[in-house]
Amino acid sequence: MSNEWWRHAVIYQVYIRSFADGDGDGLGDIEGIRSRLPYLAELGIDAIWINPWYPSPQADAGYDVITYTDIEPRFGSMAEAEAMITEAHAAGIRVLLDIVPNHSSHLHPWFQAALAAGPGSPERDRFIFRDGAGERGELPPNDWPSCFGGSAWTRVTEPDGVPGQWYLHLFAPEQPDRNWHHPDTHADYEAALRFWFDRGVDGFRIDVAHSLFKADGLPDLGDVVYEAHETRPHPFWDPDDVHEVYRSWRRIADSYDPPRVFVAEAWVPQPARLARYVRADELHTTFNFDFLRSPWAAPHLRGVIDATIAEHALVGAPPTWVLSNHDVARHVSRFARVQQTHAQHQLKDLDAEVEVDPDLGYRRARAALLLMAALPGSCYVYQGEELGLPEVEDLPPEVLQDPSWARSGFTDPGRDGCRVPVPWTGVDAKAWLPQPEWFAQFAVEVEERDRSSMLWLYRDALRIRRDTTGFGDGPFEWLPTDSDVLAFRRGAGVICVVNFGARLQPLPPHRAVLLASSPLVDGRLAGDAAVWLSE
């Protein structure tokens, strides 16, 4: 296994709550992952990224961590976790975990100590407590909103029973933000990295990597748009101070043999700002959310691909590509609608009134895989996308657990629709999110038997990508095409053609067809289809 594996890897996201259930309680767990390592090896992925599996009250599906040095009992034991790491390595699969530096759980011992210690105590300085505004401190210290809706501040009752200070939580109240100007915070997270690196973990995905530090004085957001990082400086997104943290983390990762790696979850829309996170002495890669948020349209995707490759080349980092994850509506469903130019990546963005064409979404998703897997660098596969799973858009309101649902006043259905457990044999009545009856047609055992299934397309694509020189890291050049077609040459004469239009398209001269997302028609490429060729 080369030390530079991360420059061209296919990394599979295991959302542990919904991947595989080993003990029959309806919730995914570590035994479930262990039992499905052969499936993952046959899929042909190089690594898995496991969402937080640490002790947590699960207020935000595990992104509210109590401690990093143990395993949430509902998912299994430390012994099972260490066995899983060993078994994954034996299967040729590296393991990345998830670290959540911006915040901890409200049940973290330090936050409980801060509540008990009262205003002005050193314990409170590990978090972001402030006196309220208004005559009696009855108003939040500033106007920052929570990502999930409502205010980013919650008022506490002091030990003597009177209404007291407020604490900051950019997400849920169960996720108090850590104070990154405090040395204990740095030590706490460095210890978490070392704890798992010492146990053989190959790296970490860094949650909300573009946060951590807040502007001095915690100024009001005012008319700065929450998501628009174009406004510099933004009071809490993409702060310059964050890069020294990642330089220190990189030194820790490089001190291991083999060196460990990081991938940043940084929702930073400007490619030039995003590229700062992957400079040679910082993180190795970062998710490419511009690609994920792009509509299925040639000019948009071409612009994102060009900007991504150019900016990452400036810092010598490999690009990454991703279509779905546990926070966005599944792309089979996104692509099943008329494509808008604005970002429409969450269920709440999908206009329920617009006509939905599931077959079109499915065809586009097949083509999108061939596009993504042919691009230079590494790519991410979200569990279930290899089955062509659509978003479950109509979960009963009473089962929704995403904090966005309640905190938005029951207007934003949140992210549960992309988190419904993977169907292995059919529908599991105990699943923690109910699987609709139609999920059964996407079950692994069903698609295993159907050589034309999405599962076999992913298996074939990842096998060809791995075994054929020219994919992964390396050269890239566009070829001339019509406006609704993209075609590019990779190394060693590998060509990818994607037809975003409806008209049949002739293919460039080629020696062989390596793989097609839909059958060619008289040697031409159908609409919403892609093909790999060798010259």
Tell me how far, at minimum, the Cβ of 186 lies from ligand TEU, in Å.
19
Tell me how far, at minimum, the Cβ of 343 lies from ligand TEU, in Å.
11
The DSSP output letter for 37 is H
Tell me how far, at minimum, the Cβ of 105 lies from ligand TEU, in Å.
11
Binding mask 91-110 for ligand TEU (x = CB under 6 A): ---------x----------
Tell me how far, at minimum, the Cβ of 461 lies from ligand TEU, in Å.
26
Between β-strands 10-14 and 378-382, what pairing exists: parallel, antiparallel or unpaired? parallel
What is the footprint of ligand TEU within residues 259-298 (CB under 6 A)? 265, 267
Assess 177 for contact with ligand TEU (CB under 6 A): no
| Residue (202 or 207) nearer to ligand TEU, CB | 207
Q: Secondary structure of 234-303 in the HEC alphabet?
A: CCCCCCCCHHHHHHHHHHHHHCCCCCCEEEECCCCCCHHHHHHHHCCCCCCEECCHHHHHCCCCHHHHHH
| Residue (144 or 424) nearer to ligand TEU, CB | 144
| Residue (99 or 301) nearer to ligand TEU, CB | 99
Token pair in block for residue 441: 């047609």
Q: Secondary structure of 345-373 in the HEC alphabet?
A: CCHHHCCCCCCCCHHHHHHHHHHHHHHHH
Tell me how far, at minimum, the Cβ of 203 lies from ligand TEU, in Å.
17
Token pair in block for residue 377: 């660098």
Assess 171 for contact with ligand TEU (CB under 6 A): yes
Which residue of 60, 385, 386, 391 would you call a contact of ligand TEU, by CB under 6 A?
60
Assess 53 for contact with ligand TEU (CB under 6 A): no
Residue 522 CA: distances (Å) to CA of 13, 411, 507, 526:
38, 49, 11, 10
- Structural contact between residues 93 and 202, judged by C-beta atoms closer than 8 angstroms: no
What is the footprint of ligand TEU within residues 223-242 (CB under 6 A)? 227, 237
Task: Determine the Cα angle at 20 with ends 35 and 72, to 5°.
Answer: 100
| Residue (274 or 370) nearer to ligand TEU, CB | 274
| Chain Cα centroid distance, residue 47 | 14
Assess 180 for contact with ligand TEU (CB under 6 A): no
Tell me how far, at minimum, the Cβ of 173 lies from ligand TEU, in Å.
13
- Ranked by CB distance to ligand TEU, the top (closest) residue is 63
Burial code of 170-184, b = ≥16 C-beta within 10 A, e = fewer?
Answer: bbbbbbbbbbbebee
The DSSP output letter for 213 is -
| Residue (105 or 499) nearer to ligand TEU, CB | 105
Burial class (CB in 10 A: 0-12, 13-18, 19+), 408: middle
Assess 207 for contact with ligand TEU (CB under 6 A): yes
Residue 1's CB is within 10 A of a number of other CB atoms, namely 10
Tell me how far, at minimum, the Cβ of 195 lies from ligand TEU, in Å.
20
Assess 245 for contact with ligand TEU (CB under 6 A): no
Tell me how far, at minimum, the Cβ of 21 lies from ligand TEU, in Å.
20
Total binding residues toward ligand TEU, as defined by CB under 6 A:
13
Residues forming the site for ligand TEU (CB under 6 A): 60, 63, 100, 147, 171, 207-208, 227, 237, 265, 267, 326-327
